């Protein structure tokens, strides 16, 4: 919902949505994310791709293109103990592992 709000603010103020997101970040997050965002914008030719999409949209009535970048921050906290259940099946010896970890692309399922 907030990302949609940022898009609308950017549209009304005629600014890039990245600028609006950076303006609304707190200083701690901005100090870490701003250099990464700027580097990513350069590596992906964001401005050129954005102007190409605008040109394409002005020359095509029905087909449209868009480009977007949405920086996200995952809050990882440790709160109490996590549960794990290891079950060894008696008939065939297969092992089932159930854990309460959350997979956010750090490979926890692969490690298990």
Element (H, E) at 88: strand 84-88
Identify whether 7 is part of a domain. yes
Determine whether 64 is exposed, middle or buried from the number of CB atoms within 10 Å of its CB (0-12, 13-18, 19+).
exposed
Please indicate, yes or no, if residue 41 is contained in any of the structural domains: yes
Domain total for the chain? 1
- How confident is the model over 33-75, as pLDDT tens digits? 899 999 999 999 999 999 999 999 999 999 999 888 888 776 7
In this structure, are residues 98 and 82 in contact, taking their beta carbons and an 8 Å threshold? no
- Nearest Cα to Cα of residue 16 among 71, 72, 74, 73: 71
pLDDT of residue 78: 65
Boundaries of domain holding 32: 2-59
């Amino acid at each position: 919902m907030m990302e949609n709000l940022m898009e609308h603010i950017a549209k009304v103020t005629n600014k890039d949505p990245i600028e609006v997101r950076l303006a609304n970040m707190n200083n701690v997050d901005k100090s870490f994310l701003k250099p990464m965002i700027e580097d990513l914008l350069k590596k992906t030719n964001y401005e050129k791709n954005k102007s190409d999409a605008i040109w394409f949209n002005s020359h095509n009535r029905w087909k449209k293109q868009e480009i977007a970048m949405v920086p996200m921050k995952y809050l990882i906290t440790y709160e109490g103990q996590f549960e794990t259940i290891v079950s060894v099946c008696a008939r065939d010896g297969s092992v089932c592992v159930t854990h309460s970890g959350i997979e956010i692309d750090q490979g926890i399922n692969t490690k298990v």
